[in-house]
Chains A and B, each alone.
Chain A
Amino acid sequence: MRIKAVALRILNQIRHDKRTVGIIVVAPLLILTIVYFILDSGDSGYDIGIIKAPDHFVETLEDNEDVDVKVSYYDSALAEKAIKDGEITAAIYIPDNENDLADYTDIEVLIDGTDASKASRIKALITVAAAEAIKKDIPVPVSFAEPEIETDYIYGSDDWSLFDNYGAPMIGIIIFFLVFLIAGINFLGERTSGTLQKLLSTPIRRGEIITGYALGFSVLAVLQSSIVTFFVIYVLKMPLEGSIWLVLIVNLVTAMCALTLGMLLSTLANSEFQMVQFIPLVILPQIFLCGLFELSGGWEIAGYFMPLYYTTDALTEVMLHGNGLSEIYIDLIILVSLSTVFMAANSLLLKKQRSV
């Protein structure tokens, strides 16, 4: 009854606050769309300059069926400038040997190594093209045992982009981040405006305040998780191997965890600004350790202490691996337990003000 009153009040407050509603609804969609375009278009093509190379080498380079390679010819003097200007990423020089044939053992490559992974992909492209070209150069047909790889994807498929890989954890991160901030700042406002004290002077129990808050914000969390989930799956066409309902449940549990943690930490802050200071302390480490990036042993253990680690794991299992509840129930249990612990701790902290 009192819990319901608190929850309804929260919803009323949010309803009146159009900005917060906007941020909850629009911000995640905006961020995810940007991330989608960045990660999805990252591998679109390579601009490679040719200073000197035999035609059949250039043809093999251009004919790559997986990536789009654009080739242009440069004078050796201008190639370096073209790389510095960003016109091309690499320039290739293949000298002739004493027989006036291309000497593939002495290929010189100028490369922009700013993006290390891009540079190494280009180097691989050049190596493959050179190997192909050598085969054609050899006049006598030699019987090669041509390697043939047949790929069976256990998870994923050959048309998955980088976004499809990073997208799942991103959903969790964005929901966690926004709910954490909004719930934390809201509860902080309750303290700084004196309404929490006023509320404590009524016969409401401490637990009822916390539970009411959690309930009110979880309605908001349902709204946000649904919007985000439907958006990434139906608009951004992220692969969804498992059930959409499980995705929703994971997102909701994540939001619960974020809101209870936000409320708890807001008791340590004295102003909205101090609440924002928790972003580098609480949010950023979680982003790095949640499993979005591959971690070495020790750091992976650190990830076990991050709520987002379990969200990432659960979302990956459901969305990318197509697994069901049996693979993620431990993640869910951990997230729900963490939320309960955060709520209990918050209720205990209120005890400093009123012992009943």
Chain B
Amino acid sequence: MENCIRLDNINKSFGKKQVLFDVSLKIPKGCIFGLLGPSGCGKTTSVKIMAGILKQDSGSAYIMGGLMPDLSLMAQMGYMAQSAALYPTLSAYENLKFFGSVYGFKGHVLVERIDKVTDLVGLTHELKKTVSAYSEGMKQRLSLAIALLPDPKVLLLDEPTVGIDPVLRKSIWKELYYLSDQGVTILVTTHVMDEAGKCHRLAMMREGVFLAEGTPSEIIEKSGAKTIEDAFIYFGRGGGSDED
């Protein structure tokens, strides 16, 4: 299968602290790929490098065969940051309109896109509210809506379902499956183990290296454990870590 997202030997340090160690990754087109690991393991750094908003020290990132960062590729990508990156003094609609016009939509196309994505995250009737009056969950949903605005071929979602209630979480996953059927490649980071099980493929990450990669069942099988959580602990030890 064709690789849609590819990381080749990425190293990244912040000051003296190295956060990614020679990381390589291949994600096929149309796959929902889960990046699983505790906070501080390098998930967000990896996603930012894929999104083209952080410079790696060495190595390369490719999206749909093109070297990142590249503006024409970015126009086809949706990125949702870990903390809701919204303008709090603006209304939800003004936020959507702004990002929509940055992606180059205008007129009725812009209005249609906004209608579509807000319907998807269930915010249609909350658009006039100022974002500062939004709950955390609503902000998260609005961020997701903005990531979906460009009708992306690649979606990079950094912990998208944090603070979202189970009903909505289910509907969001339903939408992710739908998008993946349409050929959209989706990368989701999470530290919630049961969510990892919903991904087509999974990579386990710890202290800047990938421990294991495969379908959830492959990973469980390889580790001989019963759950993804147990598998994670198994690979964590096998990776030569100093955890007791």
Contact = CB atoms under 8 A, between A and B. Distances in A.
Given A2-B101, A17-B89, A195-B86, A201 B55 contact: no
14 contacts: A6-B98, A12-B90, A13-B89, A13-B90, A16-B90, A16-B130, A194-B84, A195-B87, A198-B146, A199-B102, A201-B79, A202-B74, A202-B102, A205-B71
B102 A5 contact: yes
A194 B102 contact: no
Contacts, number: 86
Contact of B102 (A12, A17, A204): A204
A354 B52 contact: yes
B212 to A, nearest CB: 28
Contacts of B28: none
B104 A1 contact: yes
Nearest to B52: A354
Contacts of A355: 55, 69
A9 interface: yes
A12 B74 CA distance: 26
A5 B98 contact: yes
Interface in A1-36: 1-2, 4-6, 8-9, 12-13, 16-17
Contacts of A205: 71
Given A195-B86, A201-B77, A12 B94 contact: yes
A142 B146 CA distance: 96
B136 to A, nearest CB: 14
A198 B85 contact: yes
Contacts of B79: 198, 201
B145 to A, nearest CB: 13
Contacts of A203: 71-72, 74-75, 102-104
A116 B130 CA distance: 57
B80 to A, nearest CB: 8
B103 A194 contact: no
A215 to B, nearest CB: 14
Contacts of A197: 48, 53, 81, 85
A353 B99 CA distance: 19
A55 to B, nearest CB: 72
Contacts of A8: 98
A1 B103 CA distance: 10
B157 to A, nearest CB: 12
Nearest to A5: B101
B51 interface: yes
A208 to B, nearest CB: 9
B89 A16 contact: yes
B110 to A, nearest CB: 10
Given A200-B53, A201-B81, 17 more contacts: A2-B102, A5-B101, A13-B87, A16-B90, A16-B130, A194-B83, A197-B48, A198-B79, A198-B81, A200-B52, A201-B51, A201-B53, A201-B74, A202-B150, A203-B71, A353-B53, A355-B55
Q: Which 4 A-B pairs have the closest CB atoms?
A: A198-B85, A194-B85, A5-B101, A201-B79
Nearest to A200: B53
Interface string B11-52: 000000000000000000000000000000000000010011
Contact of A354 (B69, B94, B146): B69
B59 interface: no
A199 B94 CA distance: 15
Contacts of A16: 89-90, 130
A202 B94 contact: no
B54 interface: yes
Interface residues of B, number: 34
A18 to B, nearest CB: 10
Contacts of A6: 98, 102
B163 interface: no
B162 to A, nearest CB: 14
Most B CB contacts (10 A, CB to CB) among A4, A17, A193, A203 go to A203
A213 to B, nearest CB: 13
B85 A195 contact: yes
A237 interface: no
B55 A9 contact: no
Contacts of A352: 55
Contacts of B83: 194
A345 interface: no
A216 to B, nearest CB: 12
B175 interface: no
A77 B79 CA distance: 84
A356 interface: yes
A6 B97 CA distance: 11
Contacts of B221: none
B210 to A, nearest CB: 23
A194 B85 CA distance: 5
Most A CB contacts (10 A, CB to CB) among B54, B70, B94, B102 go to B102
Most A CB contacts (10 A, CB to CB) among B51, B75, B85, B88 go to B85
Contacts of B146: 198
Contacts of B77: 201
A194 B81 contact: yes
Nearest to B74: A203
Contacts of B53: 197, 200-201, 353-354
Interface string B96-138: 0011011110100000000000000000000000100000000
